């Protein structure tokens, strides 16, 4: 599969700015600093299209990228980079604005075909479990991605995916993929999972 183009479309701070064209979309969610923007860059083979920062709270709006590929099963779709949840240092007012915005996007978008929930493979937090529950309760198609796998030893890596399944009590139809945006480990597996989500029947 070849990526033909990646175009930044827009940043949204309120729901009436979300694209209305109902193109298929994939949302990337997870704790601040977990590696959402880095993973988008790695996945799309674009170094800096999504802004990355060592300081949590970098992504503050909902950013839409339009991707086209030569794959008939994933020809044109949005990649949606969301602000992270659970970052204490972002002011309460800012977080109070993000939370409903994120929730409105996730619950009100007709084109949304999958939610990629990123968790740090070195350790999960209560908020990750809450996010898993929140998404599953709404019957959103979820894919769990364990990020920064390059930071684990080989044996730790082998233990990660079963451990994630257990911690979150994931139902059998939820996939888990390990990913490193440094080595790009997991890129092929993630693309495979994405194609499945984009072609799954909706409704
Ligand atoms: N070693 C390693 N570092 C990573 C990886 N992915 C991201 N990072 C680093 O983690 C930090 C946060 O990455 P971002 O991609 O900005 O994280 P984010 O989830 O988009 O963060 P917010 O936008 O603040 O919610 C940066 O310093 C990245 O370089 C990875 O796979 N491996
Ligand atoms: Mg980000």
Query: Residue 148: its pLDDT value, please?
Result: 98
- Cα 41 to middle of ligand 2, angstroms: 10
What pLDDT is attached to residue 179? 98
For atom 21 of ligand 1, which residue has the closest CA? 33
Per-residue pLDDT tens listing for the chain (203 residues): 899 999 999 999 889 999 999 999 999 999 989 999 999 999 999 988 888 877 776 667 899 999 999 999 899 999 999 988 766 566 666 667 678 889 999 999 999 999 999 999 999 998 899 999 999 999 999 999 999 999 999 999 989 999 999 999 999 999 999 999 999 999 999 999 999 999 988 75
Instruction: Give the binding-site residues of ligand 1, using a 6 Å CB cut-off.
Output: 30, 32-38, 52-54, 56-59, 83-84, 147-148, 150-151, 180-182
Cβ–Cβ < 8 Å for 9, 17: no
User: What is the Å distance from ligand 2's center to 147 Cα?
Assistant: 13
**Does residue 4 contact residue 69 with C-beta atoms inside 8 Å?**
yes
Residue count of the chain: 203
Going from the C-alpha of 106 to that of each of 149, 152, 163, the distances in angstroms are: 27, 31, 26
Q: How many angstroms does the Cα of residue 21 sit away from the middle of ligand 1?
A: 30
pTM of this structure: 0.93
Q: Which numbered atom of ligand 1 lies nearest the CA of 38?
A: 15
The domain locations on the chain are 3-199
CATH second-level architecture of 3-199? 3-Layer(aba) Sandwich (3.40)
Residues 152 and 160 sit within 8 Å (Cβ to Cβ): yes
Ligand 1 centre to CA of 122 (Å) is 13
Pull the structure tokens for residue 25.
Answer: 């979309």
Provide the pLDDT for residue 84.
84
102-114 per-residue burial string, b: 16 or more CB within 10 A, e: under 16: beebbeebebbbb
Ligand nearest, relative to CA of residue 98: 1
Residue 6 and residue 65 in contact, taking contact as beta carbons nearer than 8 Å:
yes
CA 41 to ligand 1: nearest atom: 15
Q: Tell me, what's the pLDDT at 189?
A: 97
| Ligand 1 site-directed mutation target among 27, 36, 37, 38, most atoms within 8 Å of CB | 38
Which ligand sits nearest to residue 31's alpha carbon?
Answer: 1
Closest ligand, as measured to the CA of 122: 1
Residue nearest (by alpha carbon) to ligand 1 atom 14? 35
Beta carbons within 8 Å of 89's beta carbon, 6+ residues apart: 56, 57
CA atoms of 189 and 149, how far apart (whole Å): 14
What integer pLDDT is reported at residue 87 of this predicted model?
60
Residue 158 backbone phi and psi in degrees, to 5: -65, -30
């Amino acid at each position: 599969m070849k990526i033909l183009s990646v175009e930044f479309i827009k940043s949204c701070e309120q729901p009436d700015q979300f694209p209305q064209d109902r193109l298929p979309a994939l949302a990337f969610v997870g704790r601040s600093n977990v590696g959402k923007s880095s993973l988008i860059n790695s996945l799309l083979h674009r170094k800096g299209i999504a802004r990355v920062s060592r300081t949590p709270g970098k992504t503050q709006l909902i950013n839409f990228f339009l991707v086209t590929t030569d794959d008939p099963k994933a020809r044109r779709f949005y990649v949606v980079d969301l602000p992270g949840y659970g970052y204490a240092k972002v002011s309460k007012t800012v977080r109070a604005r993000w939370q409903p915005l994120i929730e409105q996007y996730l619950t009100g978008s007709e084109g949304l075909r999958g939610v990629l929930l990123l968790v740090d493979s070195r350790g999960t937090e209560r908020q990750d479990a809450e996010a898993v529950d929140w998404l599953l309760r709404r019957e959103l198609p979820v894919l769990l991605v364990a990020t920064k796998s390059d930071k684990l030893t080989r044996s730790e890596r082998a233990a990660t995916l079963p451990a994630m399944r257990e911690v979150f009590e994931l139902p059998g139809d939820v996939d888990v993929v390990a990913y490193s945006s440094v080595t790009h480990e997991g890129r092929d597996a993630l693309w495979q999972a994405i194609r499945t989500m984009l072609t799954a029947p909706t409704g």
